[in-house]
């Protein structure tokens, strides 16, 4: 039968096709998806497939003008065969068209009848879709209360059906409805619920309005950063799903955020892009919003000559589509422009008009907003009065202005002079501090140099004398080989001493920081080696290190040599059987060398016994030395200091 149909009516088909081409060719391809669908449609001859494709095209209604939607709908309606479900779907598109052209009353009627005619065999999502559109219609008609009621119904069904997409759509509608009656905080509550419901990008892509409405609310609540975040997300999702209307919305919202922040360049580019897209789509509801944004922009840039005509155009359009919230918005932008151009009377008139409109709006939607209304009314009345008073004051202010300027100039002069003085003082102080720094640094360098010189001098003296001794030893061996046995022993001693001296010096020079324990350890090793020659003598070490003090290289070397001398002395003279060394370090340091030898009379010690030398060395370093010795009960030498430099 299908074949017979096409064969018998080739002419009609031909004209039909021409008609289609006529529509399709000059039309601009708004989105890739639409383009591909159209190509597909043009290449199909199967009529039932054609209906399907036309339905798919209609689904992209957010990206073309209402008139275009009507065309597609008309063609589809007259394409047969079509199933009952397909007819039902097409009626939905007609509903959408009505809403877009502002026939709110008729739209709501149609939606009610469609809901009544819903067949249980149809998938539930179509019921929800129609309900969704009804709510949109209610909002556009400014019946926010009814819209909210119906949104809850939709939400319930969606939750029962576990349809996340329609849950999101319900939240979007709730947010939008609250937004239209300026209940921004409530609106964000609903919208955020939707946003946090899922992270599924595919779903979120279908409801970019969720984000753009949220952005708009935050913008009205002066929360710029949140607004910007959400509007960028909205833009992202809208572009992903090629939802041109949503792209426009988002761009405009972002523009108004940027205007508030004075980022005019960004705002301008966004608005231009939005306007360009909007022309393509041609939905009056949103065109008005665009005009509003533009008008605000012009007011901010002090270009009322552009702002006023655009505001008026917007007001006209809003009046035609009976959109009171939009009218209020456009009167506000108009008022802004009047203010900027100093047209006081027109400004006052605009403000009055706004109050009137708000009356209507609030009466239609909620009784309890009267209080809010009252306050706003008072505020705006006061603003009027203030404006008039301002005018009066301005006229008589020239004298005051003049004398103020003189006063300011004089005080500026005084401030400048004072600051100059302060600056000079500061520089002087800084110079002094610099000098101090340099001096102290020089002192440190000098001290370090003196230190090095001291060590070098010691080394020179000692090594020099050993080297000379070695040299003379070898010479005498050469000259008289017979007497060389003793000389060889001396030679070995001198050479060994030289190596030891070198080793000790390198030990202190190698490290910048020499802790007390380093001295203890090295001394123990030295003593161990030495005591191998005195196997009958016992030796002990005790240490108590609470805080390991740091010594400078020359001091540590000094102390080391002093200790060596004490022990050598004890071995030479005391005939002790046991030697004990105690090390202590905390806030001060102490070294005790005790033996149980024969002791000596401290008041009458022999010269050259080495004690004199030791005492001299200790005092040179500003350290203390205590000597305890009694005949037959041993000797105890205690060296201590509380500075290490």
Please check whether residue 271 is in contact with residue 251, taking contact to mean a CB–CB distance below 8 angstroms.
Answer: yes
Shortest Cβ 261–other proteins spacing (Å): 53
**Whole-number Å distance between alpha carbons of 199 and 124:** 24
- Three-state SS letters, 123-185: CHHHHHHHHHHHHHHHHHCCCHHHHHHHHHHHHHHHHHHCCHHHHHHHHHHHHHHHHHCCCHH
**Whole-number Å distance between alpha carbons of 216 and 612:** 95
Q: Which tokens hold the place of 82?
A: 């079509």
Nearer to other proteins, 35 or 521 (CB): 521
Shortest Cβ 520–other proteins spacing (Å): 7
Helix count and strand count (H, E) for the chain: 26, 7
Shortest Cβ 506–other proteins spacing (Å): 5
Shortest Cβ 523–other proteins spacing (Å): 8
Phi then psi for 592, rounded to 5 degrees? Answer: -120, 130
**Whole-number Å distance between alpha carbons of 243 and 238:** 5
Phi then psi for 600, rounded to 5 degrees? Answer: -155, 170
Nearer to other proteins, 37 or 520 (CB): 520
Shortest Cβ 518–other proteins spacing (Å): 7
The residue among 582, 581, 549, 551 whose CA lies nearest residue 567 is 581
**Strand duo 578-585 + 538-545: pairing:** parallel
Collapsing DSSP states into helix, strand and coil, what is residue 543?
A: strand
The residue among 268, 218, 211, 282 whose CA lies nearest residue 240 is 211
Shortest Cβ 627–other proteins spacing (Å): 24
Shortest Cβ 526–other proteins spacing (Å): 10
Nearer to other proteins, 109 or 543 (CB): 543
Shortest Cβ 220–other proteins spacing (Å): 56
Nearer to other proteins, 124 or 564 (CB): 564
Nearer to other proteins, 65 or 518 (CB): 518
Phi then psi for 540, rounded to 5 degrees? Answer: -135, 150
Shortest Cβ 517–other proteins spacing (Å): 6
Shortest Cβ 521–other proteins spacing (Å): 4
Centre a 10 Å sphere on the Cβ of residue 57 and count the other Cβ atoms it contains. Answer: 23
Nearer to other proteins, 298 or 560 (CB): 560
Please check whether residue 217 is in contact with residue 186, taking contact to mean a CB–CB distance below 8 angstroms.
Answer: no
Shortest Cβ 596–other proteins spacing (Å): 18
Nearer to other proteins, 47 or 524 (CB): 524
**Whole-number Å distance between alpha carbons of 66 and 283:** 7
Nearer to other proteins, 450 or 499 (CB): 499
Residues in Cβ contact with 563 at an 8 Å cutoff, skipping those fewer than 6 apart: 523, 581, 591, 593, 639
**Whole-number Å distance between alpha carbons of 6 and 12:** 9
Most distant CA atoms of the chain, gap in Å? 150
Shortest Cβ 584–other proteins spacing (Å): 14
**Strand duo 634-641 + 589-595: pairing:** antiparallel
Phi then psi for 624, rounded to 5 degrees? Answer: -105, 150
Nearer to other proteins, 389 or 528 (CB): 528
Nearer to other proteins, 117 or 503 (CB): 503
Shortest Cβ 524–other proteins spacing (Å): 3
Shortest Cβ 534–other proteins spacing (Å): 14
Q: H or E segment at 515?
A: strand 514-515
**Whole-number Å distance between alpha carbons of 482 and 240:** 109
Nearer to other proteins, 93 or 560 (CB): 560
Q: What is the DSSP secondary structure assignment for residue 122, as one 8-state letter?
A: S
By CB under 8 A, name the binding residues for other proteins: 499, 503, 506-507, 510, 517-518, 520-522, 524-525, 527-528, 540-543
Shortest Cβ 636–other proteins spacing (Å): 19
Q: H or E segment at 437?
A: helix 398-479
Residues in Cβ contact with 418 at an 8 Å cutoff, skipping those fewer than 6 apart: none
Nearer to other proteins, 37 or 519 (CB): 519
Centre a 10 Å sphere on the Cβ of residue 244 and count the other Cβ atoms it contains. Answer: 23
Nearer to other proteins, 148 or 519 (CB): 519
* The residue count for the chain: 645
Nearer to other proteins, 33 or 524 (CB): 524
Q: Using the structure block, give the residue that is written with the tokens 């080394």.
A: 459
Nearer to other proteins, 436 or 496 (CB): 496
* Chain-centroid distance, C-alpha 402: 48
Please check whether residue 558 is in contact with residue 595, taking contact to mean a CB–CB distance below 8 angstroms.
Answer: no
Residues in Cβ contact with 157 at an 8 Å cutoff, skipping those fewer than 6 apart: 124, 127, 128, 131, 166
Nearer to other proteins, 27 or 527 (CB): 527
Collapsing DSSP states into helix, strand and coil, what is residue 644?
A: coil
Shortest Cβ 565–other proteins spacing (Å): 19
- Three-state SS letters, 26-65: CCCCCCHHHHHHHHHHHCCCCHHHHHHHHHHHHHCHHHCC
């Amino acid at each position: 039968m299908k074949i017979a149909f096409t064969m018998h009516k080739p002419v009609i088909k031909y004209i039909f096709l021409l008609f289609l081409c006529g529509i399709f060719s000059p039309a601009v391809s708004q989105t890739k998806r639409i383009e591909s669908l159209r190509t597909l449609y043009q290449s199909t001859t199967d009529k039932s497939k054609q209906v399907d494709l036309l339905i798919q095209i209609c689904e992209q209604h957010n990206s073309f003008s209402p008139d275009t939607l009507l065309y597609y709908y008309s063609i589809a309606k007259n394409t047969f065969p079509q199933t009952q479900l397909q007819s039902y779907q097409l009626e939905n598109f007609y509903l959408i068209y009505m809403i877009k052209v502002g026939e709110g009353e008729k739209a709501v009627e149609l939606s009610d009848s469609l809901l009544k005619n819903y067949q249980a065999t149809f998938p539930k999502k179509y019921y929800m879709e129609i309900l969704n559109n009804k709510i949109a219609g209610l909002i556009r008609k400014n019946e926010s209360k009814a819209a909210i009621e119906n949104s809850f119904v939709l939400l319930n069904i969606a939750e029962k059906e576990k349809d996340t997409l329609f849950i999101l759509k319900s939240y979007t509608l709730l947010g939008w409805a609250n937004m239209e009656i300026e209940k921004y905080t409530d609106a964000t509550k609903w919208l955020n619920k939707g946003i946090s419901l899922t992270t599924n990008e595919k779903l979120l892509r279908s409801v970019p309005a969720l984000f753009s409405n949220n952005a708009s609310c935050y913008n009205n609540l002066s929360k710029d950063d949140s607004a910007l975040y959400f509007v960028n997300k909205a833009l992202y999702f809208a572009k992903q799903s090629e939802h041109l209307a949503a792209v426009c919305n988002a761009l405009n919202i972002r523009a108004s955020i940027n205007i508030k922040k004075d980022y005019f360049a960004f705002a301008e580019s966004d608005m231009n892009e939005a306007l360009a897209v909007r022309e393509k789509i041609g939905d009056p509801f949103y065109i008005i919003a665009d005009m509003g944004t533009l008008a605000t922009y012009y007011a901010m840039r002090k270009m009322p000559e552009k702002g006023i005509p655009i505001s008026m155009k917007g007001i006209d359009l809003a009046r035609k589509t009976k959109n009171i919230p939009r009218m209020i918005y456009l009167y506000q932008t108009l008022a802004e422009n009047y203010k900027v151009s100093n047209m006081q009377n027109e400004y006052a008139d605009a403000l009055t008009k706004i109050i009137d409109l708000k009356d209507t709006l609030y009466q239609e939607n909620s009784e309890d907003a009267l209080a809010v209304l009252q306050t706003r009314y008072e505020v705006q009345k006061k603003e009027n009065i203030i404006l008039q008073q301002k005018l009066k004051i301005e006229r008589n202010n020239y004298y005051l202005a003049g004398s103020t300027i003189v006063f300011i100039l004089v005080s500026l002069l005084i401030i400048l002079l004072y600051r100059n003085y302060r600056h000079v003082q500061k520089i002087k102080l800084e110079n002094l501090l610099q000098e101090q720094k340099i001096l102290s640094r020089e002192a440190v360098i000098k001290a370090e140099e003196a230190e090095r010189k001291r060590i070098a001098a010691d080394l020179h003296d000692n090594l020099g004398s050993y080297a000379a001794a070695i040299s003379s030893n070898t010479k005498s061996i050469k000259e008289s080989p017979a007497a060389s046995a003793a000389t060889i022993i001396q030679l070995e001693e001198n050479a060994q001493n030289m190596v030891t001296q070198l080793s000790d010096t390198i030990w202190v020079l190698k490290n910048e920081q020499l802790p007390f324990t380093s001295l203890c350890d090295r001394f123990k090793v030295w003593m161990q080696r030495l005591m191998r020659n005195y196997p009958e003598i016992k030796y002990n070490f005790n240490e108590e290190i609470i805080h390991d003090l740091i010594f400078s290289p020359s001091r540590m070397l000094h102390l080391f040599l002093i200790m060596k001398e004490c022990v050598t002395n004890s071995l030479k003279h005391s005939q002790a059987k046991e030697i004990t060394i105690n090390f202590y370090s905390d806030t001060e340091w102490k070294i005790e060398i005790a033996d149980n030898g024969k002791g000596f009379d401290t008041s009458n010690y022999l010269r050259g016994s080495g004690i004199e030398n030791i005492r001299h060395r200790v005092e040179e370093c500003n350290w203390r030395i205590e000597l305890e010795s009694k005949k037959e009960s041993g000797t105890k030498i205690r060296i201590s200091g509380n500075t290490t430099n």
